[in-house]
Amino acid sequence: MSINYELYKVFYWAAKTGSLSQAAKMLYLTQPSVSHAIKQLEENIGMTLFYRNSKGVSLTQEGAYLYSYIEQSQILITLAEEKMVALKNLENGELRIGGSDSLFKHYLLPFIEIFHKSHPGINLRLNHGTTPDIITFLKEGKIDLGVVRMPIVDSQLEVQQTFQLMDCFVAGEDYAHLKHEVLSLSGLLEHPIILFSRNSRARMSITELFQDYGLKLRPKIEVGSVDLLIEFAKRGLGISYVTRQFVKNELDDGSLFEIKLDVTLPPSPVGIMTMRNMPLSNPARRFIELVR
């Protein structure tokens, strides 16, 4: 049995108000239109649903049975409509962002704070990982957007550049004798190098740069976080490769200094990555507008 939903809607309001004229007002219809709709529904079902009384109409036993189901569906539809309005107005919903620990801490945190204060009803889900991890999260539908280092070459993805990072080699006081020297890449390799251990875009980029000069970058120490890169360099365990913006405080207070090189390290653009041709949720769209 396939019956037009509008007939059930008319039935619901006629049953709820007990009046065909009141149902007509609620639905912005004429009373004859409501009577016709009820008649159509009764003919389709093959049962009488209402009988007239002194105040209007009342449900038959069959009509009351039908109303018990239609009422539940109407409540669900109303809740769904309210939910859609809340999602549209960013009063409700979820935002899932992927990025590295360092990007969350040193770049995204202020934007996340602004977004959370503006839209406290939106639940935030932050997924941490390297660039390859974030790409996988996005393709598996685990996140709405990722903030990653570029370039990203993938026909399934769209990346909008937002800003640029500058990477550098830094050392602590144990290497103070290098403060006024300008090192070649080969000269740099005479000292212990500390790199991020995971397969990050920054690690891949600096490895490719050394390869372009015919050199192989072999780290003496590999660590699992940017904080450890900074701490190990401060303690004199070697020369760390980090993002300059992430060690601004240490460079300012002198606990670290930047190693001068005879080559210019290229900037590292950062972008917001989304699935191509995939509609964004309202929270994701609003966050991208905020970051850009």
Q: pLDDT tens digits for 184-196? A: 999 999 999 999 8
pLDDT of residue 60: 95
Q: Give 263's contacts (C-beta < 8 A, 6+ positions apart).
A: 184, 185, 213
Q: Note the pLDDT of residue 202.
A: 83
pLDDT in the model for residue 1: 60
Structural domains for the chain: 5-88 (1.10.10.10), 94-164+270-291 (3.40.190.10), 167-266 (3.40.190.10)
pTM, rounded to two decimals = 0.68
Q: What is the band of 10 on the pLDDT scale with cuts at 50, 70, 90?
A: very high
Exposure on the CB side of residue 157, measured as CA atoms within 13 A: 27
pLDDT at 126: 96
pLDDT exceeds cutoff 90 at 84:
no
Q: What is the pLDDT of residue 2?
A: 67
Q: 274 near 148, Cβ under 8 Å?
A: no
Alpha-carbon gap, residue 221 to 77, rounded angstroms = 59
Mean pLDDT, residues 37-66: 93
Rounded Cα–Cα distance for residues 95 and 125 (Å)? 6
**Residues listed for the chain:** 292
Please report which confidence band the pLDDT of residue 79 belongs to, taking 50, 70 and 90 as the band edges.
Answer: confident
What's the average model confidence in pLDDT over 117-126? 94
User: What is the DSSP secondary structure assignment for residue 156, as one 8-state letter?
Assistant: T
**Would you say residue 147 has pLDDT above 70?**
yes
pLDDT-derived band at 224 (thresholds 50, 70, 90) equals: confident
* Counts of helices then strands in the chain (DSSP H, E): 12, 14
| Percent above pLDDT 70 for the chain | 99
Mean pLDDT of the 184-211 span:
90
The pLDDT mean for the chain works out to 92
Model confidence at 197, pLDDT cuts 50, 70, 90, reads confident
Exposed, middle or buried: residue 170 (CB in 10 Å: 0-12, 13-18, 19+)? buried
Continuous H helices in the chain: 5-17, 20-27, 31-45, 61-88, 101-103, 109-118, 131-139, 185-188, 201-212, 226-234, 248-253, 282-291
The per-residue pLDDT for 85 is 80
DSSP lists the bridge partners of residue 167 as 243
Region 66-84: mean pLDDT is 88
Tell me the one-letter amino acid at 194: I
What's the Cα-to-Cα distance from 50 to each of 104, 150, 181, rounded to whole Å?
62, 67, 95
